[in-house]
Amino acid sequence: MCLLGFLINLIQRIKKHIYNKKYYSEIDINYDVRRPKLNAMAVDSLLCGDRDKWIGLDYGGGNGNAAIELRKIGYKDDSYDPYGKCLTKSENHRAYNFCSVFEVFEHACDPKEILDQIVRICNSDRLVILIGTHVNDNYCTDLNRTKWWYYAPRNGHISIHSKNRFQS
């Protein structure tokens, strides 16, 4: 099987076994509406409502709702997600000067590869990247991080990265 075929098969299995209606209705109930609105509010706040200067990409944007919320208030914002919806406009490719990356790196073994992908599709002269999460129940500590519900493989999460992992 070629690499492309392998990746397509992997994405189909992930959608079937992890990201499906049961998962969103029982495990990640904030996925559809609440978290995308929080993400859009965080982006708007960070960018100080300065909508004309930014062409945004929500990388790993899931259902695309954060980008949709940002579009509603006047931002040029697209969403890209290999397992979800891709709401991108070809004229924005390589023009993105702001990229939000909410709750993405725990899905990858190599966070630097994700950053490389982002840099390849964004503006190489001017780019701001916001990496974040709204999930914080104060449960995760150094001693119990592998028992944290958020880390669970059922969530499609395979890694927890330290600050040191992003350096160099």
pLDDT of 155 above 70: no
pLDDT at 167: 67
pTM: 0.79
Domain assignment present for residue 18? The answer is no
Domain tally for the chain? 1
Write out the two tokens for 149.
């519900």
> Residue 91: pLDDT band by 50, 70, 90 thresholds?
very high
Structural domain including 86 reads 26-135+142-166
CATH code where residue 149 lies:
3.40.50.150
pLDDT at 92: 93
pLDDT at 43: 95
pLDDT at 29: 86
> Residue 4: pLDDT band by 50, 70, 90 thresholds?
low
Write out the two tokens for 6.
């392998």
CA distance 48 to 50: 5
Domain assignment present for residue 67? The answer is yes
Domain assignment present for residue 9? The answer is no
Domain assignment present for residue 106? The answer is yes
Domain assignment present for residue 32? The answer is yes
Residues 130, 62, 17, 6: is their CA dihedral positive or negative? negative
